[in-house]
Structure 1
Amino acid sequence: MENLLNHAPCGFLTLSEDGTILAINQTLLTVLEYDTDVLIGKNINHILTVPARIFYQLYFIPLIKADKPVEEMYISLQTANGEDIPVLINAIQRKNSLVIDCVLVQMHKRNEYENELLIAKKKAETALSEKRQANKELEVALHKLEMKQKELIELNKENQKFKLETQMELHLAKNIQETSLTKPIFTEGLQIEAFYQASSELSGDMYGFYHINPNQYGIIILDVMGHGISSALITMSLQSLFQRLILNGFRADIIFKELDNHLYRLFQENDETWHYCTAIYLFIDTDQRTIEYINAGHPPGLWQNSTGEQLELTSTSPPIGSFPGLTFKRRSLTYNKGGRILLYTDGVVDPYDSHLLTSLLENNQGITLTELKQKLVQLMKDEENGYHNNDDQCFILIDLKGVEEQNFCVK
């Protein structure tokens, strides 16, 4: 790398199309606390924090592939000692080449201005207490304070602009997340309704139900640990994976193993940002009238037959991503005359109040699924407290139609 770029007052990075680091200047190596050439040949994920890796895949790569420049994208790098370094990155792909050039600028300036402002204010207060002997120092300190205040005002304007842009991005991300939710299903043998409400702009909850073929359906609901942007990004990456696997007819245990492997690939180099996910998946065959399911540490689903008898679809394995080498055990039940199933995340009711859901199903067997959904939403509002206000809320209601006399057994 040319000496001028190597010691430039900003970071310089050259990537291949797949994210391999081809060149890096000494300025950036010094910031990241790496020796010369240690990072050459490594993937950029090696120096990105976990949220930044996801942001890189969802925003940076699509812009570059669309032949558009990346302008002032805010991400965080990670030093060799694990320290997070916030930076602004500008990038562009060279013409007639797959090489990507990136310029990175640290974002510590605001903190420096604020610290200087506090020091100036302290000097001003000290000067006032020293009366005449400190008049000259007071005037100097006040002048510095005025200058720093002007600088801070300008920085606040920039921050307000950044905040507005961030809110717009979050609103767009929320629309994308909600658009990815599947629509209610109404068929001859099955009806599905769902409810979804995030505790903040973005949610760590997700569901999906898919008509695999005329007689088979795949239904999943999951909850990623935590809330907000990081959980939502992980949820969306899982959603694209389980949708493909379910629509291709993979078995429940294979689907869960792939989701488990996906989480490990995301966090294999950083245990501190590790996330796990609870989930329950149903594979329903309305021709054979069978329900196969796996519950990975999720609140138990509720099955109620046409006579009102209820059965909990309890956990069959630990949460996805909880530790290496997980196996996922399938269970199944059969039905004839039909029944109803309720799947939900832990934000719907306090775990100690789960009896409210069994009572709701028991006392409303004769109403339509749409009416039952309205009653469950009203129950959440009636029970709303501090526990619910801080959690996402999501549930699925399934109405199965059958023939002959009701009979079900769990295998």
Structure 2
Amino acid sequence: MDEHLNNAPCGFLTLSENGRILVMNQTLLNLLDYRLDQLNGEHINSILTVPAQLFFQLYFVPLVKLEKKIEEMHISFLSNTGKEIPVIINALPRNRNGQNQIDCVLFPMHKRSEYENELLLAKKEAEAALLAKEKANAELEAALKDLKSKQEELLELNKQNQAYKINTTKELELARKIQETSLTEPIVNDQIKIESFYEASNELSGDIYGFYQLDQHRYGIILLDVMGHGISSALITMSLHSLFQRLISKGVKTEAVMKELDNHLHRLFQNNKEAWHYCTAINLLIDTKEKKIDYINAGHPPALWQDSNGELHELYSKMPPLGTFEGLVFKTNTLPYTDGGRLLLYTDGVTDPLGPDQLNNLLRDNQSMSISNLKEKMKQLLSNEIKMYTKSDDQCFILVDLT
């Protein structure tokens, strides 16, 4: 590596396409308290905090591929001594000798605090000099001049932070679009009709769902609600989504799907209890040939089944939420049905404004209404209720007609 680059006043890092460390300058090695031989060839996850590992996989890598660059992204590294080091990272993908690599430049974020501390110290010194009259006018003028210089530096940092906030807003909007593209499209055929509604309380959501046609007669449906909402919950939903999409699409049994999701959450936070999240979930396998619904409800609001006679039945929870207790044994419940029934799955962002009684009445009073019209009616009810309250949770529901 060129000596100037090796000792530049910023960190420099080159990664392979799969995240392995290929090059790191001495400045970054000193910052992280490592030797090059300790990190060369290691995956970048070895020097990232747990949240940063998630952020790297779910946003850094997709953004590099999509935007062909990363500008002023905030991420946290972990030094050899266990110290968290927040940095601003810029990155560009490059092709060297037929190999895809990612060059990264890193700037530590602790400088602003240092400038603020220096500014406060300079101010105290100036005030002490004025009150005590122990310093000469020349020293006082020098202190005031230094204070002005620090203020200008702080103003410049504030401008940079404002630009960072703007860029972060753009990144959140892009992340929201990525999250929404993962949602499945309605299914309509002569056996089944499935419609859904999804709206985040913030830019990103902690709710996620999927429904899939497995073969001519079987359909898998899942709805999850991760604790909280916003960036942290959205990161977890995306990691869960990739897992349940693969499992359900392969026709894995409901109890095996829930067990894998539960294990995934325990693995995710086994080394960081402060970042621990749990999620409620309901998973169904509908067989239109056998006329049965296999389901597991893990701490989720009970789904509502309306049979062809209009009678309502709850698919209530028999298990705690995913990620709460290790070693859970999931057991599938089976609901036989006849044609002409309707199913409603929802998150607590729907029941909080409407209430379970209103949902029950909605199904009873509109049994003959198509699910497309019923979906629009539910959306209107939610909109009317939310005008009276402050919206504080993500909203999601799924309607299923078995014809």
Deviates more, 1:110-119 or 1:324-333: 110-119
CA distance in 2, matches of 1:321, 1:379: 33
CA distance in 2, matches of 1:84, 1:77: 6
Give the 3 Å change call, closer, same or farther, for CA 26–316 of structure 1 in structure 2. farther
Q: CA deviation at 1:324?
A: 2.6
For 1:284, the aligned partner's letter is I
CA distance in 1, matches of 2:119, 2:42: 41
Give 3-state SS (helix, strand or coil) of 2:214's partner: strand
Give the 3 Å change call, closer, same or farther, for CA 125–344 of structure 1 in structure 2. farther
**Which 5+ residue runs of structure 1 have no aligned equivalent?**
402-411
For 2:394, the aligned partner's letter is D
Q: Equivalent residue for 2:214?
A: 212
Q: Equivalent residue for 1:74?
A: 74
CA distance in 2, matches of 1:386, 1:311: 30
Give 3-state SS (helix, strand or coil) of 2:348's partner: coil
For 1:55, the aligned partner's letter is F
Q: CA deviation at 1:396?
A: 1.0
2:99 is aligned with 1:95: no
Q: Equivalent residue for 2:250?
A: 248
CA distance in 1, matches of 2:276, 2:109: 26
- Equivalent pairs counted in the alignment come to 401
- Given the alignment, which residue of 144, 147, 156 partners 1:145? 147
Q: CA deviation at 1:61?
A: 3.7
1:12-411 alignment runs, 5 A limit:
12-13=12-13, 15=15, 18-21=18-21, 27-28=27-28, 30-32=30-32, 42-62=42-62, 72-80=72-80, 82-90=82-90, 95-96=96-97, 97=99, 102-123=104-125, 139-350=141-352, 353-384=355-386, 389-401=391-403
Give the 3 Å change call, closer, same or farther, for CA 335–19 of structure 1 in structure 2. same
Q: CA deviation at 1:12?
A: 5.0
Give 3-state SS (helix, strand or coil) of 1:213's partner: coil
How does the TM-score come out when normalised to structure 1?
Answer: 0.83
CA distance in 1, matches of 2:27, 2:259: 42
Give the 3 Å change call, closer, same or farther, for CA 43–375 of structure 1 in structure 2. same
Q: CA deviation at 1:151?
A: 1.8
CA distance in 2, matches of 1:119, 1:19: 43
Q: Is the 8 A contact 2:307 2:338 kept in 1?
A: no
Deviates more, 1:28-37 or 1:113-122: 28-37
CA distance in 2, matches of 1:396, 1:192: 7
Q: Is the 8 A contact 2:221 2:285 kept in 1?
A: yes
CA distance in 2, matches of 1:359, 1:87: 53
User: What CA deviation, in whole Å up to 9, does each residue of 1:29-57 have, x standing for no partner?
Assistant: 55445688655665321221223112222
User: What CA deviation, in whole Å up to 9, does each residue of 1:235-291 have, x standing for no partner?
Assistant: 122222222222222211222222233334433432322222211111112222211
CA distance in 2, matches of 1:399, 1:94: 51
User: What CA deviation, in whole Å up to 9, does each residue of 1:276-311 have, x standing for no partner?
Assistant: 221111111222221111112111111111222221
Q: Equivalent residue for 1:408?
A: none
Q: Is the 8 A contact 1:350 1:387 kept in 2?
A: no
**Which 5+ residue runs of structure 2 have no aligned equivalent?**
none
Q: Is the 8 A contact 1:128 1:135 kept in 2?
A: no
Give 3-state SS (helix, strand or coil) of 2:114's partner: helix
Q: Is the 8 A contact 1:349 1:380 kept in 2?
A: no
Q: Report the aligned-residue RMSD.
A: 3.4
Give the 3 Å change call, closer, same or farther, for CA 70–262 of structure 1 in structure 2. same
Deviates more, 1:309-318 or 1:268-277: 268-277
CA distance in 1, matches of 2:354, 2:189: 35
CA distance in 2, matches of 1:189, 1:297: 29
% identical equivalent positions: 60
